[in-house]
Amino acid sequence: MQIAERMNVIAESITLKVSAKASALKRAGVDVVGFGAGEPDFDTPAFIKDAAKTAIDKGQTKYTPTPCLPELRQAIADKFNRENHLPYKPEQISVGAGGKHALYMAFMATLNAGDEVLIPTPYWVSYPEQIKLAGGVPKFIPGDEKNGFRITPAQLDAAITPRTRGLIMNSPSNPGGHAYTPDELKALADVVVRHPNVMVYSDEIYEKLLYGGLKFVSFAALHPQLLDQTLTFNCHSKSFAMTGWRVGYVGGPKDAIDAINKLQSQMCSHITSFTQIPAALALNDPRGAESIEAMRQQFEKRGAHMWKRLTELPKVTCVKPQGAFYCFPNVSAYFGKNAGEIAIKDAISFSSALLEQSHVAVVPGNDSGFDTHIRLSFATSMEQIDKGLDRVARFLVELK
């Protein structure tokens, strides 16, 4: 069958290949320690699950309006107002099937062919591919490990050209685990407001998972002008351990939201009907905030422990995670060595060898713009973290 040319502009995910191999090993009965997961290992809070059961029993199983039930849009607008100081009204909210879909629709609705979008590295794997599908051109701003992967205002200023139409902000970050302080974000915002043609896509889905007392601030709240220049993304996936429910949302200027809703009306119509009231409840009910905080505290302990163990490994460096649930160590000191038959030349060969020989699954940083780093998720138990890192330590010692 003919395959559309547009499929050639996006790359096949290396990450998926590695996780497919890990799954095959697990199915074959091998005891694999998985550090690949990009999702909380906690269950969705019971009150949210109960609300979904009630919604089904009450017959909320039919079509809803494209921008979702008014209760959900109102709850999201209230959340943005209350927690993020973003005065969005319900008509400034669009809802997608997860953060990923909300981002995709936004790129499709706001980018023209050839529009350049700046992406600080390391980045979440889907940004460049989604931007390319929308006809845009990703341009990268290299994050420096020595500066905790955070880009500087001078770097941002230098990267903006007359062709720049967008900037991706993602703090806390996947895969870097880094986060900006409010002052650092403000300094970047000051650069952006000098360029009113640059739209900011602020991916704030790890908002609730911040460590070391760091305070969260929404990018669009940093300057009144940014409200008209920014689309703010969030989702229930990570905060409420609801990855499979597929609830993501975006707030922003009404013309952009109208365009996104127009696309959604021809795409999915709306997200699953019986997730909408539970999703609204999650944002409003104090039990939502309580469950987030309990999970955050666990992640903070695990992240600090994983980071300590990683930095004790010879010749491995790692930025201390300040948010999300990932460590992103640099393993390039081991490139040029051999693991049995496998020559280790980059993060992909390192990850393959680690999986095949020591049964530890990690994600190579290649898809995130860093072929020298690997990503380890600490959304797993302390026991698994220790077991996996014991194996990594032995693997490194045995490299020739």
Q: Which residues of the chain form contacts with ligand PLP (CB under 6 A)?
A: 38, 98-100, 124, 170, 174, 203, 205, 235, 237, 243, 248
For residue 376, which phi and psi values (nearest 5 degrees)? -120, 125
For the CB of residue 382, give the shortest distance to ligand PLP in the complex, in Å. Answer: 22
In sequence order, the β-bridge partners of residue 265 are none
Q: Which is nearer to ligand PLP, 140 or 335 (CB)?
A: 140
For the CB of residue 280, give the shortest distance to ligand PLP in the complex, in Å. Answer: 17
Q: Which is nearer to ligand PLP, 243 or 261 (CB)?
A: 243
Q: Which is nearer to ligand PLP, 106 or 348 (CB)?
A: 106
Q: What angle do CA 87, 91, 93 make, to 5 degrees?
A: 75
For the CB of residue 173, give the shortest distance to ligand PLP in the complex, in Å. Answer: 7
Q: Which is nearer to ligand PLP, 99 or 251 (CB)?
A: 99
Q: Which is nearer to ligand PLP, 179 or 205 (CB)?
A: 205
For the CB of residue 379, give the shortest distance to ligand PLP in the complex, in Å. Answer: 11
CA neighbor of 346 nearest in space, from 318, 374, 388, 317:
374
Q: Which is nearer to ligand PLP, 283 or 353 (CB)?
A: 283
CA neighbor of 275 nearest in space, from 61, 70, 85:
61
Chain-centre distance of CA 195, in angstroms?
Answer: 26
- Residues in Cβ contact with 41 at an 8 Å cutoff, skipping those fewer than 6 apart: 379, 380, 381
For the CB of residue 38, give the shortest distance to ligand PLP in the complex, in Å. Answer: 4
For the CB of residue 243, give the shortest distance to ligand PLP in the complex, in Å. Answer: 5
Q: What angle do CA 30, 15, 1 make, to 5 degrees?
A: 105
Burial of 131 (C-beta count, 10 Å sphere; 0-12/13-18/19+): buried
Quote the DSSP letter at residue 236.
S
Q: Which is nearer to ligand PLP, 200 or 396 (CB)?
A: 200
For the CB of residue 174, give the shortest distance to ligand PLP in the complex, in Å. Answer: 3
Q: Which is nearer to ligand PLP, 124 or 180 (CB)?
A: 124
Quote the DSSP letter at residue 317.
B
Asked if residues 18 and 361 have their Cβ atoms less than 8 Å apart, the reply is: yes
Residue, CB closest to ligand PLP: 98
For the CB of residue 364, give the shortest distance to ligand PLP in the complex, in Å. Answer: 16
For the CB of residue 328, give the shortest distance to ligand PLP in the complex, in Å. Answer: 13
Q: Which is nearer to ligand PLP, 94 or 174 (CB)?
A: 174
- Residues in Cβ contact with 81 at an 8 Å cutoff, skipping those fewer than 6 apart: 87, 88
3-state SS track over 170-188: CCCCCCCCCCCCHHHHHHH
**Measured distance CA(322)–CA(214) in Å, rounded:** 8
> E-assigned strands of 253-382?
326-327, 338-339, 342-343, 360-361, 363-364, 374-377
